[in-house]
């Protein structure tokens, strides 16, 4: 006897859940519109995966902003020092690549439907924003 094996079809709520999670990470691509749409969608139907990734994405966005301001000041000072000024573009790229890697990791976790924290600060984002999007 052979049994047919069927793959599980995700329910509509599971699909919407991952949609909110994925949209939360589209902020860099659409200048903040992605996270706003995700928050509105999440407000209509709250899901654990959507809330989790909204918190992670919000944390990553705020971290990027908080790092950007002092980094602008440091870059300005370093740009005035001969020879060290050559390192400023490399340091900018390093910061940008680091944030981009974290963003991609969060997006991959959202696509896979995982509640996996971002490296380094992801666990803290979950604690800091625990009351957000509930």
Q: Over the stretch 31-47, which tens digit does the pLDDT of each residue have?
A: 667 788 888 888 888 88
Give the per-residue pLDDT at 12: 44
Q: What is the pLDDT of residue 7?
A: 37
Instruction: Please report the pLDDT score of residue 10 as a whole number.
Output: 42
The per-residue pLDDT for 5 is 42
Instruction: Using 70 as the pLDDT threshold, list the residues of the chain that sit under it.
Output: 1-17, 27-32
In this structure, is the dihedral angle defined by the CA atoms of residues 21, 27, 33 and 39, taken in order, positive or negative? positive
pTM (2 decimals)? 0.77
């Amino acid at each position: 006897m052979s049994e047919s094996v069927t793959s599980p079809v995700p329910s509509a709520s599971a699909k919407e859940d991952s949609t909110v999670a994925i949209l939360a990470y589209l902020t860099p691509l659409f200048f903040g519109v992605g996270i706003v749409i995700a928050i509105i969608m999440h407000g209509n139907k709250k899901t654990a995966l959507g809330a989790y990734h909204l918190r992670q994405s919000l944390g990553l966005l705020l971290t990027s902003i908080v790092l950007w301001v002092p980094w602008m000041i440091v870059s300005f000072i370093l740009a005035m020092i001969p020879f060290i000024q050559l390192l400023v573009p490399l340091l900018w790229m390093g910061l940008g690549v680091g944030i981009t890697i974290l963003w991609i990791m969060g997006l991959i976790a959202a696509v896979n439907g995982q509640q996996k924290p971002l490296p380094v600060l992801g666990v803290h984002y979950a604690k800091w924003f625990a009351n957000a999007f509930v």
